[in-house]
Structure 1
Amino acid sequence: MLQKLRDKTTGWIATLILGLLIIPFAFVGVNEYMTGGAANDVATVEAPPHWWKSAPSWWPVSMLWERREITLDEFRAEFEQVRAQERQAQGEDFDPREFESMENKLRVLQQLIDREVLALASAQAGIVIGNDAVARAIATEPAFQVEGQFNLERYQLLLSQQNPPLTPQAFEERQRERLGMLVIPQAIGESDFITDKEMERLLRLLGETRDVTIAMVAPPAADAAEVTDAEIKQWYDSHGSDFRQAESVTLEYVEINGAALPAAAPADEATLRKRYEDEKARFVDPEQRLAAHILITVPADADEATVKAAERKAASLAEQARGGADFAALAKAHSEDPGSKDAGGELPWVARDGSMVKPFEDAMFSMQAGEISAPVRTDYGFHVLQLRQIKAGQGRSFEEVRDELAREQAASDGERAYNELAGRVVNEVLKNPTSLTAAAEATGLAVQRVGPVARNAPVGIVAHPSVQRAAFSEALVQDGTVSDPIELAPNHSVLIRVAEHQPERAQPLEQVRDAVIAAIRADRQDKAAQAAADALLARLAKGEKLQEIASAENLQAGQLPGLQRGMQVPTQEANAAIFAAQRPADGKPSTGKVALGNGAWAVFSVDKVNEADLSAIPAEQRAMLRQQVAQMDGASATQAYIDAMRKQYKVKVMEDRL
């Protein structure tokens, strides 16, 4: 038997088949090796290579496609940024639980995907952003300016405060990519326009007002008629989605909170002095230098002649400065650095910390005070430096920083105690991954319980987004194992286990019978109100006036002369319905009905349409409106471009990882 198998698997045909099978497995193996088998992306965007835009997507040609990934960390950072913006915009009305909806997550993810699509499209279009454009964008950014001028010290400070901190070089590359992404959308947006005829029609529509009469429909009496079992059954069967019980979990959890641990004993003098000696370098202010410079820029794609000409100009300026010419005047007249030119080329105090590009920094820290440098080449061009002052580094004594060291040591001891406790809990859980009891007993912590908690109404610790994601994850629900520590805040985490799980399910009719009856009666009342509104409309169609009907029937009514489009009068929906109604014709008003919410209805009649007086619209207002319309049309055209590019690319979204 084995010999027959061997005979059948030899020869060139078998070798070819095995070779074809090995290729995909080889790539899978490489991918597993490089990523460790742990996928961390929530979306991918793949584009055909720029040199073969019509390349098919089938294997193995798809391996040539350019690929961009959106990682879970990138998504979470963007989601938190959007959360902060929404919280600031909505204030007390912000609902964190509603914000955590899958709809919001997908909305944010789609924005990230659009960015990657634009980045790929720009790269494939061969768009290159030069150093000058990057420098101008940074220099004109208001966040980096002080009193209207670019401030290098503020620039460096803001970059250092990012999480994680950014070097100027890394930030410049980000700006380069961002500017590259904006080239095509800006060109599309700026190419849009609106004709005079379109503008006139829009102004007439926006300036139009309507004289309206509106009457509230008398609310029907509370429905007290019998609701039969057949009606209840029919409503329940046809509105099943309204009577479902949300998925819920009951959790057991152990909370590890560093703030609840006993305070560590104050560090002794010897410990603090050792810490001071070990970290003495950070208590020494580094040497700083104050310089001015003149920049002669060189484009990234400059030819050799252009480079030589720039170098000769820089050398000439250096000679003039050495010969006694005023350096500040030379900088104002010749420097091409927009951030320092007007200040005579002066820069803020700089330490040797990588905040300046290396050739510039090396030259500055090799000079003596008052010295003028030879031309220094960087990616921006040629610099002529004048070193003005040197500020030697100064250190702080142990006595000056003792209190700071004591606070840091206390925080360090507290964090160490927290980590040790968390480590002991995790070690105990590893011995029995399906229970928290042994871990709690071994560490003196309590096993707490919460639930059942519905997915759409989280409470307690389940309201924390990370806990909610874990609690309803397939792994914890199916396996019943204890989670990894979930961080709630620094030095504060929980380990959870799903003790009970109830999937989303239909609620039995017996359980929701009263809610079904209430829904049927509310529907009856709404239909009765609509019927009353229809009866009023029928009378209006026969020629009666709405104001006369309202007086005769004791209905609440009123007139709205000169009602403007878009006003929330009486409601936004009612205003939209009024302006959607036909114009009055042959002296007869145009009528309609509209729901006002909570079962209330109103009937309206449009008695007259007042045309806009275009001559009364100032030229400035017209120009502003034209610009706004062009911007909106440009934004729509840009989105259409992104949508078209997405159809050419392969976009994959992993919703289960959000």
Structure 2
Amino acid sequence: MLQKLRDKTSGWIATAVLGLLIVPFAFVGVNEYMGGGSDSTVAKVEAPPAWWHSAPHWWPLSMLWQHEEVTQEEFRAGFEQARQQQRQALGDNFDPRDFETLDNKLKVLDQLVDRKVLQLAAKRAGIQVSDAAVRKTIAEEPAFQVDGKFDPARYTQMLATQTPALTPVQFQKDQRDRLQLALIPQGIADSGFATSKELDRLIRLLGETRDITIAALPPAPADDTPVTDAQIKAWYDGHAADFKQGESVTLEYVDVDGATLANTAAPADEAALRKRYEDEKSRFMSPEQRLASHILVAVPAGADAATQKAAEQKAATLAAQARQPGADFAALAKANSDDAGSKAGGGDLSWVAHDGTMVKPFEDALFAMQAGQISDPVKTDFGYHVLQLREIRPGHGKSFEEVRDELAREQAEADGERAYNDLAGRLVNEVLKNPTALGPAAKAVGLPVQRIGPFSRATASGIAANPAVLRAAFSDALVQDGTASDPIEVGPKHSVVIRVLQHTPEQAQPLAQVRDAVIAAIRADRSAKAAEAAADAILARIAKGETLKDIATADKLQSGELPGVPRGAPMPSPEINAAVFSVQKPAAGKVTAGKARMETGAYAVFVVSKVNEGDLSKITPEERMGLQQQVMQMEGGTAVDAFVAALRKQYRITRREDQL
């Protein structure tokens, strides 16, 4: 048998088949080996190789495709940012349970995927952002300016205060990536336009008013008719989701709050503070700055030797002219510089620090000059620069006495941080000894075990309302294992360790328990239908030729005429206004009728007797220009959305909802 099998799998056909099978398995194996067999991405955007744009999605050599990934860390950061925005927008009405839905998670994920799609498109288009563009963006940022001008000291100080702190090189990279990402969508958005006829039509629509007659119907009387058992059972079965008891948990937790810890450390003495001052003296020094201007003679990347030589000679000639008595360096820069960012200002670069803001050859040359000096040509990746050093601002520092209170405060904060970290660390060590109970660990570190619950996602309060605590409390790991959590940070120097004591899954409440609620829902539905039926009956009478005014008089309804109701105004109410402008324009001599349900549940019936278009002559040129800009922005935004949607169809996008 083995010999027959060997005979059947011999020959060039079998060899070819095996070869074809080996290729994809080899790539899969290499990828698995290099990636360690784990994948923390929640989405991946892949594009075919640049040399085969039409490669099919099923092509096995996907490792040759270009790709961008959305990591779990990126998703968590994006989702938390969306959560905070929603919390700020809704205030006390914010419901963590309503936000923690798959739809919201997928919405955030799609936004991140769109960003990766644009990043990939920018890279495939070969978009590059110059150093000059990055410098210009940073220099124009108001946060880095003092008296309207870029201030290097403020720039470095602002970066140092970020969490985590950023170096100028890191920040420049972030800005370069942002500019690269924004270039294509900005170009598309700027292409939006609006014709004069479009604006005229929009002005007529936006300025439209309608003459209406309206009658308010009284609320339908409360329904008190009997509800049968069969109706109750049918409603309960058809609206089962309305009568479910939400998932709930009961927690025990240990609260480690640095604000409540007694600071037992002795105050730092003068010697310790002075030593720290000497060790960190550079913190209190502002760097030397130089007020500079330059003229750039640009050299294209990859230029030949002759082109570079010509640029160097031109720069040398400009340097010689700038050194002539009475020469105007600013005028020379305006006439000859290739740096679009500084040319109009006569080559002014404002104050420059030796901190990497400029490229190294530029900074090295500038900080080797004397005030008033004109440099020889300085070569960088952009070409040749002629530098003018106009003024030197020496660095200066604060004395120990000036910063003593700041040092003492920092020392106290450091001691408090150390005490908090020590206590939190000891608690974790004790918990690891017995992760199925918090009592022994809490007793060992002198903290109480507290209890909260039962609560659901909707009813969480106190420490449980913190999003991170709420997420952990209902996580499968804590619910199923019954073990203590890792420390959960709920604020600065404030964390909790929790353990689920009891878990009750979401479940349907028995009909007997919610019977009264079901009856109330049935009767409320009957009342709502009765109110709508009353409004429909009036609409039927209008269709047969009765006027709303006569109907209101006969039925003793509150009514009135409202001429010139403007579009979008909250009058008579937002709901009625929306309904009024949703009905068709009436034919000559006719009316168009409609109805609107109000917040009270009652209905209003109205008729539109006349439509008045917006008056073009009342729009000023400034208002027309502003409207045109808004339309162009909307058109541009729609075009960007369409562009991204088209790219998403071309690229291969994989989402891992199980990782959210």
TM class by shorter chain equals 0.7 to 0.9
Out of 439, 442, 448, the residue aligned to residue 441 of structure 2 is 439
2:264 is the alignment partner of 1:264: yes
Tell me how far 1:278 sits from its aligned partner. Answer: 6.7
Say whether the 8 Å CA contact 1:156–1:355 is kept in structure 2.
no
Equivalence for 1:228: 228
Higher mean Cα deviation, 114-123 or 618-627?
618-627
Distance 1:268 1:531 in 2: 80
SS of corresponding position for 2:598: strand
Amino acid at match of 1:491: K
Change (3 A) 1:40 1:279: farther
Alignment length, in residue pairs? 652
Distance 1:615 1:66 in 2: 55
Higher mean Cα deviation, 115-124 or 93-102?
93-102
Tell me how far 1:183 sits from its aligned partner. Answer: 3.7
Tell me how far 1:332 sits from its aligned partner. Answer: 5.4
Tell me how far 1:276 sits from its aligned partner. Answer: 2.0
SS of corresponding position for 1:410: helix
Amino acid at match of 2:110: Q
Cα deviations by residue, 1:608-652 (Å, 9 ceiling, x for unpaired): 223444444445444443443333223222211211111222223
2:493 is the alignment partner of 1:494: no
Equivalence for 1:316: 317
Equivalence for 1:24: 28
Tell me how far 1:188 sits from its aligned partner. Answer: 3.3
Tell me how far 1:360 sits from its aligned partner. Answer: 2.0
TM-score (normalised: structure 1)? 0.88
Tell me how far 1:396 sits from its aligned partner. Answer: 5.0
Alignment of 1:58-77 (within 5 A): 58=58, 60-77=60-77
Say whether the 8 Å CA contact 2:292–2:391 is kept in structure 1.
no
SS of corresponding position for 1:476: helix
Alignment of 1:149-228 (within 5 A): 152-228=152-228
Tell me how far 1:96 sits from its aligned partner. Answer: 6.8
Out of 405, 421, 424, the residue aligned to residue 422 of structure 1 is 424
Equivalence for 1:47: 47
Unaligned runs of 5+ in 2: none
Tell me how far 1:317 sits from its aligned partner. Answer: 2.8
Distance 1:87 1:454 in 2: 19
Equivalence for 2:123: 123
Alignment of 1:183-582 (within 5 A): 183-269=183-269, 272=272, 275-276=275-276, 279-282=279-282, 285=285, 287-296=287-296, 298=298, 301=301, 303-304=303-304, 306-324=307-325, 325-327=327-329, 330-331=332-333, 334-335=336-337, 337=339, 345=347, 347-390=349-392, 394=396, 398-582=400-584
Say whether the 8 Å CA contact 1:289–1:387 is kept in structure 2.
no
Amino acid at match of 1:639: D
Tell me how far 1:526 sits from its aligned partner. Answer: 0.6
SS of corresponding position for 1:513: helix
SS of corresponding position for 2:568: coil
Change (3 A) 1:283 1:636: closer
Change (3 A) 1:434 1:652: farther
Say whether the 8 Å CA contact 2:290–2:353 is kept in structure 1.
no
Amino acid at match of 1:412: A
Amino acid at match of 2:493: N
Tell me how far 1:164 sits from its aligned partner. Answer: 3.2
Distance 2:41 2:434 in 1: 31
Distance 1:373 1:611 in 2: 68
Say whether the 8 Å CA contact 2:257–2:494 is kept in structure 1.
yes
Say whether the 8 Å CA contact 1:211–1:607 is kept in structure 2.
yes
Amino acid at match of 2:228: T
Higher mean Cα deviation, 127-136 or 415-424?
127-136
Equivalence for 1:643: 645
Higher mean Cα deviation, 80-89 or 552-561?
80-89
Distance 1:617 1:137 in 2: 37
Change (3 A) 1:259 1:383: same
Distance 2:493 2:90 in 1: 30
Amino acid at match of 2:106: L
Higher mean Cα deviation, 598-607 or 583-592?
583-592
Say whether the 8 Å CA contact 2:263–2:419 is kept in structure 1.
no
Tell me how far 1:585 sits from its aligned partner. Answer: 3.2
Distance 1:346 1:630 in 2: 35
Tell me how far 1:192 sits from its aligned partner. Answer: 4.0
Distance 1:262 1:142 in 2: 42
Distance 1:23 1:126 in 2: 28
Say whether the 8 Å CA contact 2:277–2:407 is kept in structure 1.
no
Equivalence for 2:654: 652
Amino acid at match of 2:533: A
Distance 2:648 2:249 in 1: 39
Distance 2:401 2:618 in 1: 75
Distance 1:607 1:116 in 2: 53
Out of 575, 587, 590, the residue aligned to residue 589 of structure 2 is 587
SS of corresponding position for 1:353: coil
Out of 589, 597, 600, the residue aligned to residue 598 of structure 1 is 600
Amino acid at match of 1:311: E
Cα deviations by residue, 1:376-418 (Å, 9 ceiling, x for unpaired): 2234443333345555555555555443333222222222221
Change (3 A) 1:616 1:185: same
Say whether the 8 Å CA contact 1:294–1:334 is kept in structure 2.
no
Alignment of 1:35-114 (within 5 A): 37=38, 39-58=39-58, 60-82=60-82, 102-114=102-114
Say whether the 8 Å CA contact 1:275–1:405 is kept in structure 2.
no
SS of corresponding position for 2:250: strand
Tell me how far 1:341 sits from its aligned partner. Answer: 5.5
Cα deviations by residue, 1:490-540 (Å, 9 ceiling, x for unpaired): 221111112222222212111211111111111111111112112212222
Amino acid at match of 2:28: P
SS of corresponding position for 1:580: coil
Tell me how far 1:151 sits from its aligned partner. Answer: 5.0
Tell me how far 1:342 sits from its aligned partner. Answer: 6.4
Change (3 A) 1:214 1:431: same
Tell me how far 1:597 sits from its aligned partner. Answer: 2.4
Say whether the 8 Å CA contact 2:95–2:458 is kept in structure 1.
no
Amino acid at match of 1:477: V
Higher mean Cα deviation, 187-196 or 429-438?
187-196
Higher mean Cα deviation, 447-456 or 179-188?
179-188
Amino acid at match of 2:528: D
SS of corresponding position for 1:107: helix
Change (3 A) 1:507 1:307: farther
Tell me how far 1:284 sits from its aligned partner. Answer: 5.5
Cα deviations by residue, 1:538-590 (Å, 9 ceiling, x for unpaired): 22222222122212222121211111222222233322222222232363321
Higher mean Cα deviation, 489-498 or 174-183?
174-183
Say whether the 8 Å CA contact 1:328–1:344 is kept in structure 2.
yes
Tell me how far 1:203 sits from its aligned partner. Answer: 3.6
Change (3 A) 1:288 1:217: same
